[in-house]
Chain A
Amino acid sequence: MESFFIDSLRDVCISWQTLLERLATPRRYSSLCQSDDAYTIVEHIIVSMLAAEPIVLMDYDMSPEEQRAVLETSGLSIVEKDIQLTRFDSKDNLLAALREASPEWSITLFTSGTTGRPKRVSHSFASITRAVRRGEKHCDDVWGLAYNTTHMAGIQVIMQALVNGNSMVRLFGLSPEQVLSGINRYEVTNLSATPTFYRLLLGQSAVCPTVNRLTSGGEAFDAATLQRLQTIFPNAKITNVYASTEFGALFASEGRDFVVKNGLQHLIRVDDSELLVHKSLLGESMVVDGEWYRTGDVVEVLREEPMTLRFVSRKTDMINVGGYKVNPAEVEDVFRQHDSVRDVRVYAKANSVVGHIVCAEVVRSTHELNESLLRSFLSERLQEFKVPRMIRFVDALSTTRSGKVKRS
Chain B
Amino acid sequence: MDEKLLEVINTVLQNRGRATVAELNDNHDLRKDLGMDSLDLAELTVRVEAECDVDIFADGLVNTVAEIRAKLS
Which of B39, B45, B47, B50 counts the most chain A CB atoms within 10 A?
B39
Task: Provide the residues of chain B in CB contact with A389, threshold 8 Å.
Answer: 15, 39, 42-43, 46
**Which of the segments A29-37, A180-188, A348-356 contacts the partner chain?**
A348-356
Contacts of B36-50 to chain A: CB distance below 8 A = 38-39, 41-43, 45-47, 50
| Chain B residues with a Cβ under 8 A of chain A | 14-16, 38-39, 41-43, 45-47, 50, 55, 57-58, 61
**Is B45 a contact partner of A385 (Cβ separation < 8 A)?**
no
Which of B16, B46, B47, B58 counts the most chain A CB atoms within 10 A?
B46
Verify if A331 is at the interface (C-beta below 8 Å from B): no
Minimum C-beta distance from A220 to chain B (A): 25
CA distance A353 to B46 in the complex (A): 10
Closest to A352 in B: B57
Which of A351, A354, A357, A359 counts the most chain B CB atoms within 10 A?
A351
CA distance A354 to B41 in the complex (A): 9
CA distance A359 to B41 in the complex (A): 15
CA distance A352 to B45 in the complex (A): 8
**Is B42 a contact partner of A372 (Cβ separation < 8 A)?**
no
Q: How large is the interface on A (under 10, 10 to 19, 20 to 34, 35 or more residues)?
A: 10 to 19
Verify if A43 is at the interface (C-beta below 8 Å from B): no
Minimum C-beta distance from A268 to chain B (A): 39
Q: Is the interface of B mostly helix, strand, loop or mixed?
A: helix
**Is A357 a contact partner of B38 (Cβ separation < 8 A)?**
no
Cβ 8 A contact of A354, one of B16, B42, B50, B58: B42
Task: Provide the residues of chain A in CB contact with B39, threshold 8 Å.
Answer: 321-322, 354, 357, 384-385, 389
Verify if A390 is at the interface (C-beta below 8 Å from B): yes
**A357-B14 contact in complex given A322-B38, A352-B55, C-beta closer than 8 Å:** no
**Is B45 a contact partner of A351 (Cβ separation < 8 A)?**
yes
Task: Provide the residues of chain B in CB contact with A119, threshold 8 Å.
Answer: none
Task: Provide the residues of chain B in CB contact with A385, threshold 8 Å.
Answer: 39
Task: Provide the residues of chain B in CB contact with A322, threshold 8 Å.
Answer: 38-39, 42
26 A-B pairs, CB-CB below 8 angstroms?
Answer: A321-B39, A321-B42, A322-B39, A322-B42, A349-B46, A351-B42, A351-B45, A351-B46, A352-B45, A352-B58, A353-B42, A353-B57, A353-B61, A357-B39, A357-B43, A359-B46, A372-B15, A375-B15, A384-B16, A384-B39, A385-B39, A389-B39, A389-B42, A389-B43, A390-B46, A390-B50
**A390-B41 contact in complex given A353-B57, A372-B14, C-beta closer than 8 Å:** no
Contacts of A302-356 to chain B: CB distance below 8 A = 321-322, 349, 351-354
CA distance A352 to B43 in the complex (A): 10
